[in-house]
Amino acid sequence: MRVTRFRWTYRLRQGLTRLCVALTPGRIDESPARARLSSQVWELYSHMAPGDRVHGLCVLARLEAQGTVSLPLAKAALLHDVGKAEGRLSLPYRTAVVLLGDRLSGWASAERSSWRYPFYVHLHHAKRGAALCAEAGCDPQVVALVRWHETPLAQVPDGALHDSLAALQAADDQC
């Protein structure tokens, strides 16, 4: 998992955004996603939690504010957390993820029926998301960006991805 600075204001803003999205369903302008995703990939995107979709839209907007964004990078911005879909990562679990930090792996369980499964999903969402994107027919660059979005750049084997991945990670850290 990529290490980012822990900032209470950042985490509080994320939590409040998710809460607002949950309390006001249907108020998300998802036209930027509709414009960039094929029907098959839109189906994948639409299975994400509303808070994760809003987060993806925020990441895309941050990237666009910095300049022209390639279509694969735009898709990766929207889909980078798709591996969390169907993972039962409710707000209490997401809060626990933040509080547990490095101890999270000790709480995770790959057993789907376990109450600890959402922790497993959080830890492995990048790999899961990449597999889902590949199954949906996404471009290999999208798959790679989703797969490596949580990994420090020095540990990413494909140096050609570094510029796009650095931009994705920076925008992700701002949303």
Cα distance between residue 64 and residue 70, in whole Å: 10
Q: For residue 91, is pLDDT > 90?
A: no
User: How far, in Å, are 97, 139, 151, 163 from residue 134 at the CA level?
Assistant: 27, 8, 19, 21
Mean pLDDT (whole number) for 85-105: 74
Task: Tell me the pLDDT tens digit for each residue of 116-146.
Answer: 787 888 888 999 999 999 999 999 999 999 9
Domain regions of the chain by residue span:
8-87+129-174
Supply the pLDDT for residue 101: 74
Q: Tell me, what's the pLDDT at 169?
A: 95
Enter the pTM of the model: 0.82
| 20-56 confidence digits (pLDDT tens) | 555 555 678 899 999 999 999 999 999 999 989 999 9
